[in-house]
């Protein structure tokens, strides 16, 4: 028999040294005596109100053990040798989605406040069991689950992931796979970004050209050069039957799909399909489905014909998606065409609108009224407030905290989705390091390591308890200019999605990054079992050397490649200067303690992160015992220098002896081979 875990992650709010391998961390965990022996004969006893949840759980267990577990409805009173019981108890002192999990030597009991709570309890059990495909399942021996009492509930009602399918299109099976992994992390909102300048991805029966024309573009930028074309026709869309199937699939896993239909900007694909929807009275009007990334000028014209079209589209969308919220985009809507359009300008005068920003808010209000008539709520990116925020609108904040503060002050609800912590199209390690692996690792820029995602607290913008309640939750964004297939999407999403899940679920007082990192090791076993193409977690580079030594340079750094990275003991980080080198530029290391004995010193410059290599072409490696008198240890040859520093050496220096056009990379200054 194998013991699956030894101790609990939290006991009366304290994090243990040997945590349960659970992400997100439960709100309360109490370890008990003994263990439950889980085996292929373990059955499921269930309340009939959670039959669907039982069926999903049974399928999950079969995938792991190879045998379908026996199941029995509670009222049948069938004797079971070993059982997991799934119950609903609406009287539990927990919010929606809350559950308790009691593991004892005799049985495992999940009680949910509702069906969602039961489902989340089963996800917790799956995380405690060995991963899919694990060797543990092959010998048939029981798994010993440590007895424990868990009482758990979500911190936020909105725990989401957005996927952009406008730039790149993913088959239904890929979407379902992503939904499965969202459910595994207890996320509950899938924000489906269905329309873009580069492609319209949802079938609308009344307007077939949206997919026959708008779903296809003539070319796409290849990895490595966003300003070029591959010349390959590209596209695809989801039929309404496929969408119904995906919605049902997500609903069964307690995930709500929030569709996004972009307006008034990011509308080139729709306008290419139906040119009369655009500002056709402007010079040079020639809409097409865009083949390049970025922000494009084509924007819906604010005329009756357009609103009839949008109401028809949203009417079909509302029939397909039962979600309370309908996302209308509203971001990055250039006003140039409205400024050029006589129709738009005349409308502004008639409606008393001062500028094009107010015209956009007027536009949004018309759509909001229609959605209200359908019993739905409008949600949009934070630009929807620029000309005045509609009273009933919910704002999804992506740019800056000030927009969240503004919306909260007006009494509007917000979802926190800021670029600073939730944009998973950013690099998760230094960009140059990622690109050194190949062009297919390209991202849009910036860097968002998993540690920074984990540090997010969505309520930091709230000024009081009332405003905290207006913050519905948070979500991650996966824009896909650089995600040509689901393999790349998975690489960008995982394991950062685990950090986001804990931000959205776990009480902030229990969050601890070191503890999270320990638990992540266990979760990654499930990633391996599920054959996820995840990125290996890389600690964020820090502005500190490995032993407290001080390192300085006359050169400024490029991006996040700190000078300290040249002496931090890590091979995955490096210092990178941001300009051509001048004579006598230097990198100087002041050792924490003088060398106790003669010591070998080696410095290797350059690396694959740079197109030019960025080796030091002309330079010397020097040492000093007093900081003023320098002794040459070696000349740099082919970017490398090595020598022996005398006992008593206090400082080491790399000094440039002749100008060079290329920049400089230093991976690590090695002492004694370390």
Q: What is the per-residue pLDDT for 413?
A: 96
Q: What is the per-residue pLDDT for 467?
A: 96
Beta bridge partners of 394: 379
Q: Is residue 636 exposed (0-12), middle (13-18) or buried (19+ Cβ within 10 Å)?
A: buried
CB 554 within 8 A of CB 160: no
Hey, what are 308's tokens?
């009839």
DSSP at 131: P
pLDDT 10s digits, 172-222: 999 999 999 999 999 999 999 999 999 999 999 999 999 999 999 999 999
Q: Over the chain, what is the mean pLDDT? A: 93
Q: Report d(CA 344, CA 279) in Å as an integer.
A: 8
Q: What is the per-residue pLDDT for 18?
A: 58
CB 381 within 8 A of CB 398: yes
Given pLDDT bands bounded at 50, 70 and 90, which one contains residue 2? very low
Q: Report d(CA 59, CA 138) in Å as an integer.
A: 18
Given pLDDT bands bounded at 50, 70 and 90, which one contains residue 4? very low
Closest CA to 52 of 156, 122, 143: 122
CATH class, 550-671 region: mainly beta
Q: Report d(CA 215, CA 32) in Å as an integer.
A: 57
pLDDT above 60 (res 566): yes
Closest CA to 413 of 398, 386, 384, 391: 391
3-state secondary structure of 260: strand
Distances (CA, A) of 192 to 116, 238, 282, 382, 422: 21, 12, 32, 17, 16
Query: What stretch of H or E contains 586?
Result: strand 586-590
Q: Report d(CA 162, CA 256) in Å as an integer.
A: 12
Domain boundaries, the chain: 2-152, 158-506, 550-671
pLDDT above 60 (res 446): yes
Q: Which fold has domain 2-152?
A: Chitobiase; domain 2 (3.30.379)
Q: Report d(CA 427, CA 546) in Å as an integer.
A: 24
Q: Report d(CA 98, CA 661) in Å as an integer.
A: 61
Backbone angles phi, psi at 475, to 5 degrees: -155, 160
Angle value at C-alpha 509, between 503 and 512, nearest 5 degrees? 65
Q: Report d(CA 6, CA 128) in Å as an integer.
A: 11
Burial code (b: 16+ CB inside 10 Å, e: under 16) for 567-585 equals bbeeeebbbbbeeebeeeb
CB 412 within 8 A of CB 395: yes
- Between strands 445-447 and 426-427, the pairing is parallel
Angle value at C-alpha 430, between 425 and 433, nearest 5 degrees? 110
3-state secondary structure of 259: strand
pLDDT 10s digits, 493-547: 999 999 999 999 999 999 999 999 999 999 999 999 999 999 998 777 789 999 9
Average pLDDT over residues 358-372: 96
DSSP at 221: P
Q: Is the peptide bond before 495 cis (omega within 30 degrees of 0)?
A: yes
CB 107 within 8 A of CB 85: yes
CB 514 within 8 A of CB 537: no
Same fold, 2-152 and 158-506: no
473: alpha, beta or left? (left if phi > 0; alpha if psi -120 to 50) = left
Average pLDDT over residues 572-595: 94
Given pLDDT bands bounded at 50, 70 and 90, which one contains residue 571? confident
CB 428 within 8 A of CB 492: yes
Q: Report d(CA 348, CA 339) in Å as an integer.
A: 10
Q: Report d(CA 568, CA 551) in Å as an integer.
A: 10
Q: Is residue 444 exposed (0-12), middle (13-18) or buried (19+ Cβ within 10 Å)?
A: middle
pLDDT 10s digits, 113-156: 999 999 999 999 999 999 999 888 888 788 999 999 999 999 99
Query: Which residue carries 């399928």 as its tokens?
Result: 59
Given pLDDT bands bounded at 50, 70 and 90, which one contains residue 1? very low
Percent over 90 (pLDDT), the chain: 86
Query: Which residue carries 């990055």 as its tokens?
Result: 332
Contacts 24+ apart (CB under 8 A), 550-556: 550/589, 550/590, 551/587, 551/588, 551/589, 551/590, 552/587, 552/588, 552/590, 553/577, 553/585, 553/586, 553/587, 553/588, 554/584, 554/585, 554/586, 555/579, 555/581, 555/585, 555/587, 555/664
Distances (CA, A) of 265 to 74, 168, 205, 318, 333: 54, 18, 22, 21, 4
DSSP at 539: P
Residue 273: CA count within 13 A, CB half-sphere = 26
Q: Report d(CA 560, CA 541) in Å as an integer.
A: 8
Q: pTM value?
A: 0.85
Percent over 70 (pLDDT), the chain: 97
Scanning 83-207, the segments in alpha helix (DSSP H) are 115-128, 172-184
Residues 6+ apart with CB under 8 A from 65: 40, 137
Average pLDDT over residues 235-253: 98
Q: Report d(CA 385, CA 480) in Å as an integer.
A: 26
508: number of Cβ within 10 Å: 10
Q: What is the per-residue pLDDT for 608?
A: 76
CB 300 within 8 A of CB 277: yes
Question: Domain 158-506 in CATH: superfamily?
Answer: Glycosidases (3.20.20.80)
pLDDT above 90 (res 389): no
286: number of Cβ within 10 Å: 8
Q: Is the peptide bond before 264 cis (omega within 30 degrees of 0)?
A: yes
pLDDT above 90 (res 376): yes
DSSP at 211: H
Query: Which residue carries 């207890």 as its tokens?
Result: 186
Distances (CA, A) of 31 to 43, 380, 650: 23, 44, 52
Residue 32: CA count within 13 A, CB half-sphere = 16
3-state secondary structure of 109: strand
Least confident stretch, 15-24, 74-83, 639-648, 649-658: 15-24
3-state secondary structure of 289: coil
For helices 240-252 and 304-320, give the axis angle rounded to 10 degrees.
50
N-terminal to C-terminal alpha carbon distance within the chain: 42
pLDDT 10s digits, 316-353: 999 999 999 999 999 999 999 999 999 999 999 999 99
Using CA atoms of 277, 329, 351, 393 in order, give the dihedral in degrees to the nearest 10: 140
Query: What stretch of H or E contains 493?
Result: helix 486-493
């Amino acid at each position: 028999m194998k013991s699956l875990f030894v101790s609990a992650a939290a006991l009366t709010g304290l994090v243990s040294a040997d945590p349960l391998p659970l992400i997100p961390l439960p709100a309360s965990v109490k370890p008990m005596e003994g263990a439950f022996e889980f085996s292929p004969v373990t059955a499921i006893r269930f309340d009939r109100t959670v039959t669907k949840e039982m069926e999903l759980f049974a399928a999950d267990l079969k995938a792991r053990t190879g045998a379908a577990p026996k199941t029995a409805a509670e009222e049948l009173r069938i004797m079971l040798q070993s059982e997991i019981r799934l119950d609903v108890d609406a009287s539990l002192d927990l919010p929606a989605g809350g559950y308790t999990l009691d593991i004892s030597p005799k049985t495992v009991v999940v009680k949910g406040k509702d069906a969602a709570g039961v489902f989340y309890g089963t996800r917790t059990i799956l995380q405690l069991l060995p991963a899919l495909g694990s060797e543990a399942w092959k010998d048939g021996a029981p798994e010993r689950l440590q007895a424990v009492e868990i009482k758990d509930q979500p911190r936020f009602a909105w725990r989401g992931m957005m996927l952009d399918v406008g730039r790149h299109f993913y088959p239904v099976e890929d979407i379902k796979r992503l939904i499965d992994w969202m459910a595994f992390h207890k996320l509950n909102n899938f924000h489906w970004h269905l329309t873009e300048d580069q492609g319209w991805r949802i079938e609308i029966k009344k307007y077939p050209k949206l997919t026959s024309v708008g779903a296809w573009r003539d070319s796409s930028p290849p990895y490595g050069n966003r300003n070029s074309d591959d010349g390959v026709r590209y596209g695809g869309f989801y039929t309404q039957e496929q969408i119904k199937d995906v919605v049902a699939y997500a609903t069964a896993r307690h995930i709500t799909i929030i569709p996004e239909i972009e307006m008034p900007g990011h509308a080139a694909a729709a306008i290419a399909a139906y040119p009369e929807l655009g500002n056709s009275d402007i010079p040079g009007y020639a809409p097409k489905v865009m083949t390049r990334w970025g922000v494009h000028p084509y924007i819906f014209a604010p005329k009756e014909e357009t609103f009839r079209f949008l109401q028809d589209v949203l009417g079909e969308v509302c029939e397909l998606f039962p979600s309370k919220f309908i996302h209308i985009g509203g971001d990055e809507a250039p006003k140039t065409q409205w400024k050029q359009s006589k129709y738009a300008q005349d409308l502004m005068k008639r409606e008393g609108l001062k500028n094009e920003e107010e015209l956009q808010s007027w536009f949004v209000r018309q759509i909001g009224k229609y959605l209200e008539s359908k019993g739905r709520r409008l949600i949009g990116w934070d630009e929807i407030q620029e000309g005045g925020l509609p009273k009933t609108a919910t704002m999804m904040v992506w740019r800056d905290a000030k927009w969240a503060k503004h919306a909260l002050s007006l009494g509007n609800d917000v979802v926190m989705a800021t670029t600073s912590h939730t944009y998973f199209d950013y690099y998760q390690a230094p960009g140059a390091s990622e690109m050194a692996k190949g062009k297919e690792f390209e991202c849009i820029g910036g860097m968002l390591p998993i540690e920074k995602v984990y540090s997010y607290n969505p309520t930091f913008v709230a000024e009081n308890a009332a405003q905290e309640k207006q913050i519905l939750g948070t979500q991650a964004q996966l824009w896909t200019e650089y995600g040509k297939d689901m393999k790349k999407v998975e690489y960008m999403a995982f394991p950062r999605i685990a950090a986001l899940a804990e931000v959205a679920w776990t009480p902030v007082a229990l969050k601890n990054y070191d503890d999270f990192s320990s638990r992540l090791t266990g979760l990654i076993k499930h990633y391996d079992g599920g054959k996820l193409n995840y990125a290996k977690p890389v600690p964020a580079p820090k502005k500190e050397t490995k032993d407290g030594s001080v390192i300085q340079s006359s050169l400024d750094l490029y991006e996040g490649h700190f000078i300290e990275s040249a002496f931090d003991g890590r091979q995955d980080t490096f210092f990178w200067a941001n300009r051509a080198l001048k004579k006598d530029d230097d990198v100087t290391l002041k050792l924490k303690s003088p060398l106790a004995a003669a010591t070998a010193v080696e410095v290797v410059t350059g690396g694959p992160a740079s197109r030019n290599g960025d080796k030091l072409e002309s330079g010397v490696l020097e040492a000093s015992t007093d900081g003023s008198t320098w002794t040459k240890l070696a000349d740099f040859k082919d970017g490398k220098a090595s020598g022996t520093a005398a006992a008593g050496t206090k400082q080491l220096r790399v000094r440039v002896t002749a100008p060079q056009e290329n920049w400089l990379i230093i991976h690590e200054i090695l002492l004694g081979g370390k």
